[in-house]
Amino acid sequence: MDHDDYIAKNWRKLNGEDHWKESLDPPSPHLRTYINHYGEMAEATYDAYIQTSHSKNAGNCKYARTNLLKQCGLLQGRPLNQYKVTKYLYAMSAVTLPGAFVFSSDTSPWSKKSNWMGFIAVATDDGKKVLGRRDILVAWRGTVNPSDMIYDSELNLVSAPIVFGSQYKDDDPKIHQGWYSIYTTSDQNSRYNKSSARDQHGCGGCDANAIDIVLNGLNKQSYIPAKSCPVTMWFQNSHPWVLGRRDRASDRHAQVSVLEGTREPMESGQLHMESYMHGVAGVQTGILGGFKLEINRDLSLVNKFGDILDDKYGVPPSWWTEENMGMVQKHDGTWELKDHEEDIEP
């Protein structure tokens, strides 16, 4: 049975229905492929994020929703990645978070407070055939500056009544202050964050992260019988959910499945999602550090944002760049920075 047929028929198991019992030592090729599928969707939030502060679009997304997955190279030859991006997520924060946001130095920026934080996507008919169901995916961007790794640990933990509600007030579970602020802050004067990132989706909060979705019953049908959709959290960033992450989610008999592993590998102090996915795709062989791919994975992706591969592979370092860094020549011969496609809300 090939990957596609197996995944369509066994997606509940791959999503952690039994918490991956007897599936991780070692992971099957099907699970490796499945994990990297979601890793690639998360990687798109970095690939499409404008990080250069001299751009008036700094902190925004480069591409319109209709072009996001194609421009990030996630459609060609990838049957699992057939989704329609339905919503962009924007966020702001009431506390300072170095590394989480980038703001423009331009005098007329696209936004002075908000940043693009990710997207919501729904599997197309073709994607549904391969995935086995109409998958709803929420991809959140993590931090982009390695300095935040230290700052991350210094921020306070705070109560989170919006997520946990009153049923856990005696236990008072805590959440990372910065990420809770990003998740819940709104401003009526903001074009992009009149609603918080938590509440931007038309279904009243379905874009919330996995814990919130389960604890507040957002994965349940509104009619009888109230069946639950399984919820799985892949590729956590910065561990924002500090206390009660799994136990409390299980109280509602609609568990959040969390596949835990090592933190993202670091090269010269920077996060490299691609090298992490490369590690998922293979196994280390021998005591001398050999490596063997267990599934097909393009080796050139390892150097997408870094200089990791040996020169013998002929792949330049940090090759993921916009042509001419986004500068476009106009009809009169002058040049202008055009690094953003306008996204029109339906």
Statement: residue 41 has pLDDT above 80: yes
Residue 52 has which token pair?
Answer: 């250069």
Beta strands in 92-237 (DSSP E): 115-123, 136-140, 157-159, 174-176, 231-233
Res. 346 pLDDT band, cuts 50 70 90: low
pLDDT digits (tens, 9 = 90+) for 117-149: 899 999 999 999 999 999 999 998 877 765 554
- Does any domain span residue 280? no
Res. 314 pLDDT band, cuts 50 70 90: very high
Most trustworthy range by pLDDT among 62-66, 202-206, 233-237, 288-292: 62-66
- Does any domain span residue 223? yes
- Does any domain span residue 307? no
- Does any domain span residue 55? yes
- Does any domain span residue 296? no
Of 220, 211, 209, the closest CA to residue 139 belongs to 209
- Does any domain span residue 282? no
- Does any domain span residue 178? yes
- Does any domain span residue 57? yes
**Domain containing residue 11:** 3-252+316-337
pLDDT digits (tens, 9 = 90+) for 241-270: 444 444 444 444 345 555 555 444 444 444
Which domain CATH number covers 141?
3.40.50.1820
Q: Are 342 and 64 in contact (CB under 8 A)?
A: yes
pLDDT of residue 271: 53
Q: Which residue has the higher pLDDT, 33 or 267?
A: 33
pLDDT of residue 270: 46
> Which string of DSSP letters, residue by residue, matches 217-230?
TTTB-SSSS--B--
**Which residues are CB-contacts of 209 (< 8 A; sequence separation ≥ 6)?**
138, 140, 183, 233, 241
Residue 11 has which token pair?
Answer: 């997606």
Question: Would you call 212 exposed, middle or buried from its count of C-beta atoms within 10 A (0-12, 13-18, 19+)?
Answer: buried
pLDDT of residue 200: 61
pLDDT of residue 164: 73
- pTM, whole model, 2 decimals? 0.83
The residue-averaged pLDDT of 150-154 equals 50
- What is the domain count for the chain? 1
